[in-house]
Amino acid sequence: MLGPPARAPTAGVLIRNAEALETLERVDTLIVDKTGTLTTGNPAVRTVVALGGRDEGEMVGLAAGLERASEHPLAAAIVAEAVRRGLAIPPADDFQSETGRGVRGTVGGRQVAVGTAAFLEQMGMATTPAAAPAAELAARGETVVHVALDGAPAGLIGITDPVKPTTPEAIRRQEAGRRRSRMVAGDGPPAAEGGGPA
């Protein structure tokens, strides 16, 4: 093989046989995962909103203490934000995780929950006070994380994962080559659209 197929291995593409290459020619839609493919894969906190006069730093530090025990990709962003702010990050006890919903436990003697609005509601908390600011963050393309302290909503953390600089051009090239592009993401539509290519 000469020409572009010969360059494929240097671009990280493995073509196993000629049949695979012929199949690729018939592909009309490219489906890609957002996180780490179209975006940098390095989520970062963009916005922190404290509710009801709560201390923003305390909320971030306690959330980070809980998230330090989590394996969720957004957890590292919250911990990094606490470190960036020079906040104390107390260890978590009684850590519990509900996949796709959130985490809860005791941090510094306080009951802390971090996750979706539905997760807090499931624990009997009214998230109405957070609805308007949460909608604003989501409209800006941020993934909204709710934080509760001692059984009451305490605030929101908005997280973004920047689009790679090469993404818009890569999508344009695919579409110029008669291929549509579609994105899959674990975020809600506003955050996914905010993280998608321009």
**Which are the catalytic amino acids?**
33
Question: Backbone dihedral region of 24: left (phi > 0), alpha (psi from -120 to 50 degrees) or beta?
Answer: alpha
CA distances for 125 relative to 2, 41, 66, 78, 113, angstroms: 63, 32, 19, 22, 11
**CA 32, CA 76: separation in Å to the nearest integer?**
23
User: Which of 134, 136, 117, 197 shows the shortest CA–CA distance to 161?
Assistant: 197
